[in-house]
A and B are shown apart, each in its own frame.
Chain A
């Protein structure tokens, strides 16, 4: 399993989750966990996904997700899980 954290932050609008999930499904990326809140009109989501089934290099996937974010008007970041794990777990 290759776990990646996807964060989506921006002004709330219709279909953010749908668009992101469509991309993930089309690229063979499995969603393991989703948390999402709206704070003062701002959409804030974190997904834990497994990218094992995705044939693309990590950098390409991250670039495509970032481009998708620009289309929707939100910021989408992909980061390998280890950076969070190392920082917050002993």
Chain B
């Protein structure tokens, strides 16, 4: 039988160490909404999402009350809109009208983000894919809750460099379209290599075409819990360190599994996966960088950071995988800059640079995330940063991503405030040398040799 010590430990994690379920994300397929008439398409999309998600927020709150665990976000992901809107949308305005429908239904069911304003172009772009991509600046400036993602490469297909070049321009343009709000649009736009079909986390969540009609995916968190556990093993060797992380990750993930199963039962929607993640927030004590410091680094970014992060990422997976029947999504430690107080401190102290972050993305769960850069950064430079990150993902058979925010009108040393979970960030310097001729070549980079496994 459960004892007082165990109950106290769990409640201390929740109350003092920010243990929470970061998101319950309801994936909804919109493939059956496809129509060549734009008005009908928008109506069908609205009705399908509203019907599927009207009880999502209420259910989340009920589960949260029953178990006494905060469920921070309830969200929706949908089939990539480039696929759904291809038959009806003949202009960027047409696609943006679909974004507005998504925004409206998200508002009405009470979710804070809806993901899936996406295109999957890892090998090539259809006219609809390209039109959707070109509509992103308009769509993100005209909506509040819509998140957009584009998959630009994969280990199996190589990297679509035409799309990489285009996305550099689109990120710049989105920054320009939303410059009144410190280029906030770019915080809702991410590009991927090896994007997973079942990721519950924004901005990159979409409901892949390999998925069922509806599915519940849950993302857990708990960097504060890991940090507190590590405080008790200061000075111990790596074996003890790793075992402690594994045990903690197991406990955290079990809560996610419980919540996922319960939400699946209450909403009568199949359970998909638990995403085993350490996702920081700007709250004090909810930081991945602080875990790295607890391991023995003065700041995140100091020599040893990549090794510490590799160890952390691996132990989180090892501990978490046994705690859930299905794992997926991005799974690992996130290293967003603006959403992690420890990362912000490291940048301010001069310990963490864009180049070090790039090295860290080789071993973390995703990629360059929520990094504010000067507003006058050239589009080709952004494309170069994206290409580097895509190459890391392609060669290492992992998901990588780029979510950078060129803040129009601001430069290195200034700070940008996004608010809420998106946090704030000091603007980081970008390497000033040109990659124009490389990015402008056009075409695609072939898949690496180790992708040929058939």
The CA of A59 and the CA of B2, in the complex, are separated in Å by 22
Q: Which of A60-79 contact B (CB under 8 A)?
A: 62, 77-79
Which of B3, B4, B68 contacts A77, CB < 8 Å? Answer: B68
Contact (A80, B1) CB under 8 Å given A7-B7, A86-B257:
no
B residues within 8 A CB of A79? 66-68
Q: Is A83 an interface residue (CB 8 A)?
A: yes
- Beta-carbon contact of B7 and A59 below 8 Å: no
Check B258 against A83 for contact (C-beta < 8 Å): yes
For the complex, what is the distance from the CA of A87 to the CA of B252, rounded to whole Å?
7
CB distance from B369 to the nearest CB of A (A): 29
In the bound complex, residues from chain B placing their C-beta under 8 Å from that of A62 are: 65
B134 within 8 A of partner (CB):
no
Instruction: Report if B210 contacts A (CB, 8 A).
Output: no
**CB of A26 closer than 8 Å to a CB of B:** no
User: Are the CB atoms of A81 and B2 closer together than 8 Å?
Assistant: yes
CB neighbours (8 Å) of A7 from chain B are 7-8, 11
Chain A residues with CB under 8 A of B258: 82-83, 86
Number of contact residues on B: which range applies?
A: 20 to 34
Tell me the complex Cα distance, A59–B65, Å.
7
For A, the interface residue count at a CB cutoff of 8 angstroms equals: 24
B255 is contacted by which of A5, A33, A81, A86 (Cβ under 8 Å)? A86
Interface residue? B10 (CB, 8 A) = yes
A78 contacts across to B, CB distance below 8 A = 68
Cα(A78)–Cα(B65), bound, Å: 9
Closest chain B residue to A5 by CB distance? B7
Can you list 18 A-B contacts with CB-CB less than 8 angstroms, sorted by A residue number? Answer: A5-B2, A5-B7, A7-B8, A7-B11, A33-B1, A35-B3, A35-B4, A37-B4, A44-B4, A44-B8, A46-B7, A77-B11, A82-B258, A86-B254, A86-B257, A87-B251, A88-B9, A88-B251
Chain A residues within CB distance 8 Å of chain B: 5, 7, 33, 35, 37, 44, 46, 48, 58-59, 62, 77-88, 90
Which residue numbers of B lie inside 8 Å of A, CB to CB? Answer: 1-4, 6-11, 62, 65-69, 251, 254-255, 257-258, 322
4 closest A-B pairs by CB: A79-B68, A83-B67, A86-B254, A35-B4
